[in-house]
Structure 1
Amino acid sequence: MGFWSNWGRGAQQFDSGDAAGVVELTRRRPTISLTKQGAAGGNLRVNLSWRMRTSDFGGRRGWDQSLLRHPLRMFKPEMVQAQGPAMVNVDLDLACMYELQDGSKGVVQPLGDFYGSLNAAPYVQLSGDDRFGSGSGETVFINLDHKDDIKRLLVFVYIYDGTPAFDRTHALVTLYPSNGPRVEISLDERAPEARSCAVVMIENVKGEMVVRREVKYVYGFQAELDRLYGWGLQWGRGYKKTKV
């Protein structure tokens, strides 16, 4: 598991305003311009949420009648059937590689507690680390009031530990601009051995902020995504702090 270290800490909660309607980025419609819809300012909120594909393994198909007797079960993290009898949790992490106009590069991610900063470079901040796929998921905030300082941002998702299970989750990355419809990117392609996925690129193209769907799965972690997109960072092995 890779991490990059050179950046600050500390996560805060922010909100980016309401967004009406929804636009889904697909292979046939992969891009949208935030500038053209008047959303190239304020805070862009990027959220990751996921749940298990219960139809992929036995039991709990459709409505579970036992929830009537034990309603609190619906808040229990779903388990995924690994190869063989073992049961594993899926821990998806949301992260963002950044490149600024001055040449600065780095990553904002839970691994290593590199939560970034919203009001100072890199103008990207992670709200926290959700290890169980709760309703709120994980969120990255991007301060587009500093769009002129941003060259490109690669939002990606990786499985921190355990069995690769992208093909057993319903993962959704949603962008909430300061104006206009929210933008959704579904990670619904089957990639049973993949551990990371480049989801969306946010790029400053001659002053226009363009969002482009990527959805490219790789078998490795951050270093492999780095090579794929030519970021040029130095990566080492990292671990999350154990929560008690």
Structure 2
Amino acid sequence: MSWEYRRRGKTPSSRTLAPTSPTEMGGSLWSYLMHSRSHPRGSTFKDPQHSRLSKGHPVVSLADHGATAGTLRVNLTWQAPSAAVLPERALLLPWRAKRPAPWQQAQGPVMVTVDLDLACMYELADGQKGVVQPLGGLCGNLHRPPYITLGDDNRFGAASGETLYINLDKADQFKRLLIFAYIYSGAPAFSRVHAAVTLHPPTGQRLVVELHEQDPHARSCAVALIENRDGQLTMRREARYVYGYQADLDRLYGWGLQWGRGHKAIE
């Protein structure tokens, strides 16, 4: 169940890499082991083609990252956790499916079905407002207003995730865009599914916003706000979590849309 729109001083932060030997920690093996635990290796975003937005580095110009024309692809990805790592209360939430019978379970950890949705509220230069989201079939249009469209609805956390497409050839038609995500079903918190939103400009570095804050009750997250400032699109990392859904994000950012309860069709 979710909400459906009804028509009517610090330097930019970067992930610290673990030292390669105990001598880098002053010769203390204990210090080396403790530092390695708090800064694990294998960060997803060590790739130089990614630019990770953080609290210390929240605002970028899309033009500086090659997003001046063509199509900007916005991708939400997440991982389905196993039931063993979820708290017992998560298995009792009313929107969760019943546990499978013992004979239906395969050997090994049981993977939990998690359905996250990617969406975008828009306000155009001519005053039009609305939302592009899976609920209500509001998939948008890439070549006509709102110049935003939604890819397939991914309900199982596949590697492809969910994707929005934004027509940058119509950048002058945008006043502001709020990219957000919400938990439709299956997860107790964003931090447990390792969710991230990546913006893929036609050229240049990809921009990444990780959704890993420890907020166990939040069901929605405002990911990023794109605004037209003097003809240039800028993006600000928001990562603002709310306990409710689209209507609560609307009130937080003053969009002024009307909302009603909505459900996805059962497939």
Question: Is the shorter-chain TM-score for this pair beyond 0.5, marking a shared fold?
Answer: yes
Are 1:136 and 2:163 matched, yes or no? no
Q: Is the 8 A contact 1:82 1:163 kept in 2?
A: no
2:195 corresponds in structure 1 to: 171
State how far apart, in whole Å, the 2-side matches of 1:193 and 1:84 are.
11
Where 1:4 maps in the other structure, the secondary structure is strand
2:89 corresponds in structure 1 to: 83
Q: Give the one of 78, 81, 91 matched to 1:50.
A: 78
Look at both structures and tell me which one has the larger radius of gyration over its CA atoms: 2
Tell me the percent identity: 53
Which structure has the higher relative contact order (CA within 8 Å, separation 6+)? 1
Q: 1:84 to 1:94 in 2, by over 3 A?
A: closer
State how far apart, in whole Å, the 2-side matches of 1:82 and 1:157 are.
24
Q: Is the 8 A contact 2:120 2:177 kept in 1?
A: yes
Point out 4+ residue stretches in structure 1 off by more than 4 angstroms. Answer: 84-88
State how far apart, in whole Å, the 1-side matches of 2:241 and 2:222 are.
6
State how far apart, in whole Å, the 2-side matches of 1:84 and 1:165 are.
10
Shift of 1:4: 1.1
State how far apart, in whole Å, the 1-side matches of 2:252 and 2:175 are.
17
2:65 corresponds in structure 1 to: 37
State how far apart, in whole Å, the 1-side matches of 2:156 and 2:53 are.
26
Q: What are the superposed Cα offsets for residues 152-190 of structure 1, whole Å, 9 maximum, x if unpaired?
A: 110000011355322311001000001210111100101
Q: Is the 8 A contact 1:31 1:211 kept in 2?
A: yes
Where 1:226 maps in the other structure, the secondary structure is helix
Where does 1:123-162 land on structure 2 (aligned, <5 Å)?
123-162=147-186
1:3 corresponds in structure 2 to: 4
1:242 corresponds in structure 2 to: 266
Q: What are the superposed Cα offsets for residues 109-129 of structure 1, whole Å, 9 maximum, x if unpaired?
A: 001111000000000000011
Matched to 2:169, the amino acid is D
Matched to 2:240, the amino acid is K
Where 2:170 maps in the other structure, the secondary structure is helix
Q: Is the 8 A contact 1:130 1:137 kept in 2?
A: yes
Matched to 1:29, the amino acid is H
2:236 corresponds in structure 1 to: 212
More helix by share: 2
State how far apart, in whole Å, the 2-side matches of 1:29 and 1:101 are.
28
Give the alignment's TM-score, normalised by structure 2: 0.74
Shift of 1:57: 4.4
Q: 1:84 to 1:44 in 2, by over 3 A?
A: closer
Task: Give me the CA root mean square deviation.
Answer: 2.0
Where 2:217 maps in the other structure, the secondary structure is coil
Give the alignment's TM-score, normalised by structure 1: 0.80
State how far apart, in whole Å, the 2-side matches of 1:238 and 1:221 are.
11
Task: For structure 1, list consecutive stretches of 5 or more residues without a partner in the other structure.
Answer: 8-19, 59-79
1:111 corresponds in structure 2 to: 135
Q: Is the 8 A contact 2:122 2:129 kept in 1?
A: yes
Q: Is the 8 A contact 2:7 2:258 kept in 1?
A: no
Q: Give the one of 196, 217, 225 matched to 2:249.
A: 225
Matched to 1:3, the amino acid is E
Q: What are the superposed Cα offsets for residues 90-110 of structure 1, whole Å, 9 maximum, x if unpaired?
A: 211000000000000000000
Q: Give the one of 3, 17, 21 matched to 2:49.
A: 21
The range that moved more, 122-131 or 164-173, is 164-173
Matched to 1:188, the amino acid is H
State how far apart, in whole Å, the 1-side matches of 2:91 and 2:132 are.
35
Q: Is the 8 A contact 1:92 1:158 kept in 2?
A: yes
2:43 corresponds in structure 1 to: none
